[in-house]
Structure 1
Amino acid sequence: MAQPKWHAPPANAASRRVDISIYNSLTSGKVPFDALTETVSWYACGPTVYDDAHLGHARNYVSTDIIRRILQDYFKFDVNFVMNITDVDDKIIIAAREQHVLDQWLAGRTSVDDEVRKTTAAAFAWFVKKRLPDVSEHRVSTNYVDGFEQSYGHVLQGKSTANDGTPPGDDEAKVKRYHKEALAAVNALEAGDLDLQTFIEGASSVLKPYLDSLHGKLIDGSDHHIFTKLTKKYEQRYFEDMASLNVLPPDKLTRVTEYGPQIVEYVKRIQDNGFAYEHEELTKKVPIDEESVNENPAKAKSVYYDTSRWVASGGEYARLKPASKTDKAAQADGEGSLASKDSTFKRSTADFALWKASKEGEPFWESSWGRGRPGWHIECSAMASDALGKQIDIHSGGIDLAFPHHDNELAQSEAYWCEKGHVDPKNQWVNYFIHMGHLSIEGQKMSKSLKNFTTIRESLATKEFTSRRLRIIFLQGAWGSGLEISKTVKETAAKWEESIENFFLNVNDLPEMKDLSLASNGTNGTASSLDGALQEAQQAFRKALKDSFDTPTAMRSIANLVSTYNTEVNSDRHVPNATSLSIARWVTEMVHIFGLDATPLQPGQIGWSGSTIPEEGNEFVEALASWRDKVRAQANDGASDAKWPILDNITTDGSPDNPYATAYAAFSQRLSKLQDVSATKAACLKESDYLRDTVLWDLDIGLEDRDGRPSLVRPLSARARRERAEAEEKAAAKVTAKAAKEKEDQEKLEKGKLSPLEMFKTDEYSEWDAEGMPTKDKEGKEIAKSASKKLKKRWEVQKKAHEVWLKSPAA
């Protein structure tokens, strides 16, 4: 298959100076990077804001941020980074409208009354019928759980809905999601007294679509606030999430709802250039209120892009994904609800909506075609062209956007910029398309529509990941390739982080490092073989980043240098402090360029945040560590129990917000109580352990004892945190296992309470022998020998259990 045509931009002196190659989706290969001007123009497809961002979004936007930082901070390009916010599309319209209708319905309600329950029950029945149609109506109203198990139980067991051996996919994930939502509504309905908020939290997933089906079409589409109320909330949360991941904000932000008139003009010009045609939508009756409709239907036209005319005029279509141009499923997915039920009017099946007549309950803007809203793809073309002009250096987004979104963007944008239908293939709208690979967690791809995702804020709050660890994972994977976060990937990232962190801690612990850190550079002093290792690492690092931002190789060059340094330090060979400083400064600068530290790089800084104790804590931490050293030294000398060391008297006045001062003051009060009662040696040693394991640990400070020398005090390493977490988890598991065993033993003991003489004396039998063994059943028939043998085995088991119980304290 022939590769899509691509025209290299004219050579730019600034670009040639660094000689970067970049993987370009337009060529399906690497090409030299040449920016059009001294400033790199970059447009990134931003989020669709109707829910919280998940880890799949983190993969896209963190990887984009890494490349942006490399261009800006390493290769020293000026970058004009523009990103859009999609705040109107099918999913947003539905989510915002559903929430609005629910809020309207709840207005004035304060409790779960009969009307609330009645409506929720109707919503539940409607929801199950629509989403889980195989569950019978009878089962919905009598026993939903059994009905679901009968119709879809095999899906919960990991099989397909057809139960024919085919592997499960999105359909099965949706069934599980709908079941979860239906079950939450069942639990709310069957619960006793619930406050209204708790009830709605459980039932909202069935109430929202049901109420929307009844009242959604009555919404005034000119009131954009109904829709932006939701999107503004999630836009703010998106940027909070990005800040927590240390993603730089865009230089310019555009929103679809702020570009309505410009999009109308954009579509008009494409039409004037001959690459779009109108289609009058089926007339529709406009609701007046819940009881009636306007019998004079509204008329409006939609505008479609003419792909056949574009190709016939010399343009290309589906340049990014040529094989997808006939993919009807992808085209339909790209159109969503913008697609017309009757598509026979289309001049080509590949044609797509530029402007769509709005339906009832949808937002609209006025235009010469009537009331309508933008097509999905046109928004980015209009905003990017407005912000960056006729040609753009870089356009980025997730790989799932390549077709149809980015391919349609390309076609319509180049149709917009051509002069009266004259297509010049050299006037390509975007020179470099870069697409970030998919992310999956333990083999599962995340999807907002399936609601099977882990949000960014959840993963950070539960400490499943830290911002730094997640970025390391992305750096160790190629930005354009799929990435699966597996146990091995997590462990590899952890080892890399721990290695670099320990390196920073060790260098900061070197004698006279504070004085060396003030020097303008670290090149003075005795030469070392490590100087050559540093130069090799720097060259390998630069070569990797010039090769399409190959961060996995660049990360290995850092790790290899640190490993070489550690080998040298652990040998008998002397490493000059100046050499250590040079290496540490370079590593520090590179990890900051990768965005692995959210705090700005300071002059002379070694390491990232967390590798040194903050200045406001030094005095207090040193005093606490010094006291502990004195206690341990006195204990080792075999001193008496009396007159143990007193903690230095440091004032904490004026430091109410300093956590180190607060911790120092609290610990000082603990010691005062001990000194008042002439603390024993054991008590002081106990306090020294409390200081290390609780006071300093809670301040993220580790303390390492060293025989005959002051203890080593430094920020907690990632390894120390992990080892303690593993130890606590192991201890907790041991306690849980012990409790489970005790419960099992107790239950077993309780079972032995029943005497074997009495165990079979039930209404199943009518006669028994002297040992309590049944001889006749309830109808007076003799017990068969085979059945008697089985009963005898049970009797013997119970006899042994009863003997154990008789010997127990409970007997």
Structure 2
Amino acid sequence: MSLTLYNDLTRKKEPFVPLTPGRVTFYSCGPTVYDFFHIGNARPFIVFDVLRRYLEHLGYEVTFVQNFTDIDDKMIQRAHSEGIEVSDLAARFIGEYYKDADALGIRRADVAPLATEHMPEIIGTIERIIERGHAYVSEGDVYFDVRSWPGYGRLCKQGLDELEVGARVEVGERKRDPLDFALWKAQKPGEPAWDSPWGKGRPGWHIECSAMSSKYLGTTIDIHSGGVDLTFPHHENEIAQSEAASGEPFVRFWLHNGFLLIDKEKMSKSLGNFMTARAARQKYPPLAIRLFMLGAHYRSPINFAPEGLEQAERGVTRLRNCRADLAFARRTRMGGEPGAGSFPADFLAELKRLDDDFHAAMDDDFNTAAAVGVLFEVVKAINSGLKEHPSLPAAFFDAAEAELAKIDGILGVIGPEELPKEEESAGEEALGDAEVERLIEERCAARKAKDFARSDEIRAMLAERGVVLEDTPQGTRWKREI
């Protein structure tokens, strides 16, 4: 089975074949950096990070672009309220974005463009749209003429008459039709502005993504992703203006993730259930948040509730314990053949079957919920092998560790051996594996010498640093807490 993706443009699953063999161009909408990003934003960042990883696993050369919106009304309002420059506000929250994204295991984009650094490309795109007769200038503003574009509404599957219901002209807008949208906004007092053929001003939100994606990925890109709330108007407008500017198809596969609910209601500040990713990861381990997000199909809504997060936390603990158990057993129990029967051949066959199941789940519109289930089946098979066989060959450990590493390289829910602890002071950095082993050896020596005070001191010190010890007949084993 080859990879199929649900294309929102056609409303069906389609075999994924990139425009250029072996290469994938992938654009994903990034945050507006006026505040910490909220937990709803974390969902597309995480799920499309997994799709990117899976494409790379399949052997594609992926160019992944995720922008930062660093100029818009919210940016201006927040900067004015704090008495700072918009650029300073953007720099601060881009830094905060990376802290949260890195903690959640979201790999950094190949290109992370800022709108304010691409004014020539934005202005050039608008000029081409005007030249082709799909935009007009009105007292320093530039608007896209929606009724000049016959395909408008094909992504959201609504006609112009349906879209016109509820459309309106905001105070200060100079557009001809309520459906028209701004490509360029004339400068207002106190706002940042850039020179343009139409006077000083700044770009509209939608045109920023069109200009930046075309610069780095070309006029036609393979995949464009984002939250379902961006389908209209943002992505619909991107299609119209991009294709009006280039004359070429804009995106081949449109992917949107479902809403994230808080206690079964859509998250909103007015309901008081708004939560930033920063606040969420102060309550729950980042890996648990990531596993929770991947535990449902990306197109389905998901309810962000304590019981689900607590279950995910237990799941991460189980995954990390399995990896630690493997490492401990390799050191203490690797020996000759495990006894009569076809083991480890049966185990290897079971791993192969599970690996096939994992790929089948991911190939089916990257169904991470099913893929996570397969991962826990892998853990179950490994744990059974460890429990049933006192002595195991190297082939068992090699295969088990390789399969865990392969799947985690895609899902990213087990994480590194050492997890960062941001709350630790400069002198309390995470201990390396070698240092943990050295301290355990020192503790064992202290116990043999009946220096129980030193033994307890080492145990307590390791516990403070997130390392839990367990004394077994085979020796002392250790695990890191998530």
Quick check: TM above 0.5? yes
- The yes-or-no answer on 1:501 pairing with 2:331 is no
* 1:331–1:404 CA contact under 8 A, matched in 2: no
SS at match of 2:44: helix
Divergent runs of 4+, >6 A = 448-451, 513-516
* 1:502–1:717 CA contact under 8 A, matched in 2: no
For 1:233 and 1:266, locate their aligned partners in 2 and report how far apart those are by CA, in whole Å: 29
After superposition, the C-alpha distances for 1:350-372 in whole angstroms (9 at most, x for unaligned) are 22122222222222222232222
Q: CA deviation at 1:327?
A: 3.9
* 1:541–1:553 CA contact under 8 A, matched in 2: yes
For 1:344 and 1:469, locate their aligned partners in 2 and report how far apart those are by CA, in whole Å: 48
Partner residue, 1:454: 275
| 1:644-723 equivalence runs, <5 A | 645=449, 684=452, 688-689=455-456, 691-692=458-459, 694-706=460-472, 709=473, 711-716=475-480
Partner residue, 2:232: 403
* 1:89–1:376 CA contact under 8 A, matched in 2: yes
| Distance verdict in 2 for CA 1:702–1:327, change over 3 Å | same
Partner residue, 1:85: 68
| Distance verdict in 2 for CA 1:55–1:700, change over 3 Å | same
* 2:42–2:277 CA contact under 8 A, matched in 1: yes
Q: CA deviation at 1:404?
A: 0.3
Q: Name the aligned partner's letter for residue 51 of structure 1.
A: D
Structure 2 length-normalised TM: 0.87
For 1:699 and 1:227, locate their aligned partners in 2 and report how far apart those are by CA, in whole Å: 40
For 1:85 and 1:699, locate their aligned partners in 2 and report how far apart those are by CA, in whole Å: 36
* 1:513–1:577 CA contact under 8 A, matched in 2: no
After superposition, the C-alpha distances for 1:320-371 in whole angstroms (9 at most, x for unaligned) are 2123753458756xxxxxx54377962x432212222222222222223222
- The yes-or-no answer on 1:67 pairing with 2:51 is yes
Partner residue, 1:481: 300
- The yes-or-no answer on 1:51 pairing with 2:35 is yes
Higher gyration radius (CA): 1
Partner residue, 2:422: none
- The yes-or-no answer on 1:592 pairing with 2:396 is no
Larger RCO (alpha carbons 8 Å, 6+ apart): 2
| Distance verdict in 2 for CA 1:512–1:238, change over 3 Å | closer
For 2:239 and 2:142, locate their aligned partners in 1 and report how far apart those are by CA, in whole Å: 17
Partner residue, 1:255: 114
| 1:795-810 equivalence runs, <5 A | none
* 2:187–2:201 CA contact under 8 A, matched in 1: yes
Q: CA deviation at 1:459?
A: 3.2
- Candidates 256, 264, 268, aligned match of 2:127: 268
Q: CA deviation at 1:82?
A: 1.4
Structure 1 length-normalised TM: 0.53
SS at match of 1:252: coil
Q: Name the aligned partner's letter for residue 43 of structure 1.
A: Y
- The yes-or-no answer on 1:323 pairing with 2:158 is yes
Partner residue, 1:361: 190
Q: CA deviation at 1:711?
A: 4.2
Partner residue, 1:141: none
For 2:291 and 2:250, locate their aligned partners in 1 and report how far apart those are by CA, in whole Å: 34
Q: CA deviation at 1:554?
A: 1.1
For 1:622 and 1:441, locate their aligned partners in 2 and report how far apart those are by CA, in whole Å: 47
- Candidates 434, 438, 452, aligned match of 2:259: 438
Q: CA deviation at 1:559?
A: 0.9
* 1:625–1:713 CA contact under 8 A, matched in 2: no
* 1:438–1:482 CA contact under 8 A, matched in 2: yes
- The yes-or-no answer on 1:377 pairing with 2:206 is yes
- The yes-or-no answer on 1:39 pairing with 2:31 is no
- Candidates 93, 101, 104, aligned match of 1:234: 93
- Candidates 74, 78, 87, aligned match of 1:95: 78
After superposition, the C-alpha distances for 1:399-420 in whole angstroms (9 at most, x for unaligned) are 11110000011011111112xx
- The yes-or-no answer on 1:387 pairing with 2:186 is no
Q: CA deviation at 1:565?
A: 3.7
After superposition, the C-alpha distances for 1:609-636 in whole angstroms (9 at most, x for unaligned) are 47x97013312222213423x3xxxxxx
Q: Name the aligned partner's letter for residue 341 of structure 1.
A: V
* 1:324–1:403 CA contact under 8 A, matched in 2: no
SS at match of 2:158: helix
Q: CA deviation at 1:98?
A: 2.2
Q: CA deviation at 1:43?
A: 1.4
For 2:47 and 2:290, locate their aligned partners in 1 and report how far apart those are by CA, in whole Å: 8
For 2:175 and 2:394, locate their aligned partners in 1 and report how far apart those are by CA, in whole Å: 77
After superposition, the C-alpha distances for 1:51-110 in whole angstroms (9 at most, x for unaligned) are 1122222212122211111111x212111111211111111111112222xx7xxxxxxx
For 2:432 and 2:478, locate their aligned partners in 1 and report how far apart those are by CA, in whole Å: 6
* 2:134–2:148 CA contact under 8 A, matched in 1: yes
For 1:46 and 1:22, locate their aligned partners in 2 and report how far apart those are by CA, in whole Å: 21
For 1:528 and 1:261, locate their aligned partners in 2 and report how far apart those are by CA, in whole Å: 62
| Distance verdict in 2 for CA 1:584–1:44, change over 3 Å | same
| Distance verdict in 2 for CA 1:568–1:515, change over 3 Å | closer
Q: CA deviation at 1:571?
A: 4.4
RMSD over aligned Cα atoms: 2.9
For 1:40 and 1:53, locate their aligned partners in 2 and report how far apart those are by CA, in whole Å: 27
Q: How many residues align?
A: 463
Q: CA deviation at 1:246?
A: 2.2
Partner residue, 1:309: 148
Partner residue, 2:13: 30
* 1:330–1:403 CA contact under 8 A, matched in 2: no
| Distance verdict in 2 for CA 1:327–1:449, change over 3 Å | farther
* 2:220–2:249 CA contact under 8 A, matched in 1: yes
Partner residue, 1:621: 440
* 2:284–2:309 CA contact under 8 A, matched in 1: no
For 1:330 and 1:45, locate their aligned partners in 2 and report how far apart those are by CA, in whole Å: 25
